[in-house]
Structure 1
Amino acid sequence: MKTNAGALLSSIRIDRAADRKISVQLYLRLKDILLSGGVNPGERLPATRTLAKEIGVSRTTVIDAIDRLTAEGLLDARVGAGTFVSQALAGRPASPAAPRPAAGESHAPSLSQAAADARERFAPRAWLPHKSQAFITALPALDLFPMAHWARLSARHWRAGRDDVMGYGHPSGHQGLREAIATHLNAARGIRCDPDQLFVVAGAQQAFFLISTLLLNPGERVWFENPGAIGARNAFVAGGAEIVPVDIDAEGLSVVDGLRKAPAFRLAFVTPSHQQPLGQVMSLRRRLALLQAADEADALIVEDDYDGEFYYGNQPQPSLKSIDTRDRVIYVGTFSKSLFPSLRLGFILVPRNLVGALAEVSAYWLSGVPTATQAIVADFMNEGLFATHIRLMRRAYKARHDALLEAAASLRPHIDIRPTSSGFHTVGFLPAAADEDRIVAGAREKGIIVAPLSRYSATASGRKGLVLGFGGVTPDDIRRGVRKLADLPELARPLV
Structure 2
Amino acid sequence: MKRHAGAVLSSIKIDKAAGKKRSIQLYMALRDLLLTGALTPGDRLPATRTLAQEIGVSRTTVIDAVDRLTSEGLLEARVGSGTYVSEALTARLAPKPAANSNDVAQVAPRLSHASKHAIPDFTPRARLPHKSQAFVTALPALDAFPMGQWAKLSARHWRKTRDEITSYGEAFGYAPLRQAIARQLNASRGIKCDPGQIFITNGAQRAFSLVGGLLVNPGEPIWFENPGAIGARNAFVAIGANPVAVDVDGEGLCVEDGLSKAPHFRLAFVTPSHQQPMGCVMSLPRRLALLKAANEADAMIVEDDYDGEFYYGDQPPPTLKSIDTHGRVIYVGTFSKSLFPALRLGFVLVPDGLVESFARVCQTWLSGVPTVTQAIVAEFMDEGMFATHIRTMRQLYKERYEILMRESASLAGDIDMQATSSGFHTLGLLSNSLDEEKLVAKSAEHGITTVPLSRYTLRSLPQRGLVLGFGSAAADEIRKGIQTLKTILPACRAS
Length-normalised TM-score, structure 2: 0.92
Counterpart check, 1:409 vs 2:409? yes
* 1: CA distance, partners of 2:93 / 2:466: 42
Contact 1:485–1:491 (CA under 8 A) maintained in structure 2: no
Distance 1:300 1:28, change over 3 A: same
Range with bigger deviation, 120-129 or 442-451: 442-451
**Displacement after TM superposition at 1:406 (Å):** 2.8
Cα distance change of structure 1 residues 445 and 493 upon mapping to structure 2, 3 Å threshold = closer
The answer to whether 1:173 aligns with 2:173 is yes
Partner of 1:218: 218
Distance 1:311 1:45, change over 3 A: same
Q: Tell me what 1:102 maps to.
A: 101
Distance in 2, Cα, partners of 1:137 & 1:93: 49
Contact 1:27 1:66 in 2 (8 A): yes
Shift of 1:134: 2.3
Stretches of structure 1 lacking an aligned partner (at least 5 in a row): none
Task: Compare 22-31 and 464-473 and name the one that shifted more.
Answer: 22-31
Q: Distance in 2 between matches of 1:406 and 1:39?
A: 60
CA distance in 1, matches of 2:360, 2:170: 12
What are the Cα deviations for residues 223-270 of structure 1, in whole angstroms up to 9, with x where unaligned? 110000011111111111111100001100001111111111111110
Superposed, 1:139-158 pairs within 5 Å as 139-158=139-158
Q: What's the counterpart of residue 330 of structure 1? A: 330
Do the aligned residues in 1 keep the contact of 2:129 with 2:137 (CA within 8 Å)? no
Identical columns (%): 63
Residue of structure 2 equivalent to 1:449: 449
CA distance in structure 2 between the partners assigned to 1:81 and 1:374 by the alignment: 41
Look up the match of 2:126.
126
AA matched with 1:291: L
Write the letter of the residue equivalent to 1:5. Answer: A
Matches within 5 A, 1:76-115: 76-86=76-86, 96-97=95-96, 99-102=98-101, 105-115=105-115
- Inter-partner Cα distance in structure 2 for 1:35 and 1:336: 46
**In structure 2, what is the Cα distance between the partners aligned to 1:321 and 1:33?**
60
CA distance 1:217–1:31, change in 2 (3 Å): same
Q: Check whether the contact 1:36–1:94 (CA below 8 A) recurs between aligned residues.
A: yes
With the length of structure 1 as denominator, give the TM-score of the two structures.
0.92
In structure 2, C-alpha distance between the alignment counterparts of 1:96 and 1:436, rounded to whole Å = 46
Deviation at 1:444, TM superposition (A): 2.1
Mapped to 1, the partners of 2:93 and 2:258 lie a distance apart of 57
1:126-157 CA-partner distances (Å, limit 9, x unpaired): 21133323222121111211112111111222
Task: For residues 68-87 of structure 1, give each alpha carbon's deviation from its aligned partner in whole angstroms, at most 9, with x where no partner exists.
Answer: 55456554422222223456
Find out whether 1:237 has 2:237 as its counterpart.
yes
Residues 493, 124 of structure 1: alpha-carbon distance in 2 compared, 3 angstrom cutoff: closer
Residue 20 of structure 1: CA displacement?
Answer: 8.1
The residue number in structure 2 matching 1:248 is 248
Measure how far apart 1:51 and its partner are: 1.5
1:287 and 2:287 correspond:
yes
The amino acid of 1:238's aligned partner reads A
Looking at structure 1, the residues matched to 463 and 469 of structure 2 have their Cα atoms a distance apart, in angstroms, of 19
Indicate the SS of the match to 2:337: helix
Letter in 2 for 1:108: A
Letter in 1 for 2:156: R
Counterparts of 2:126 and 2:493, CA distance in 1: 30
| Structure 2 alignment gaps of length 5 or more | none
Q: Is the 8 A contact 1:168 1:367 kept in 2?
A: no
Structure 1's 335 and 50: CA in aligned 2 closer, same or farther, altered over 3 A?
same
| Preserved CA contact (<8 Å) 2:435 2:493 | no
Kept in 1, the 8 Å contact 2:435–2:494? The answer is no
1:50–1:186 distance in 2 versus 1, CA, 3 Å: same
SS of the residue 2:379 aligns to: helix
Q: CA RMSD in A?
A: 2.6
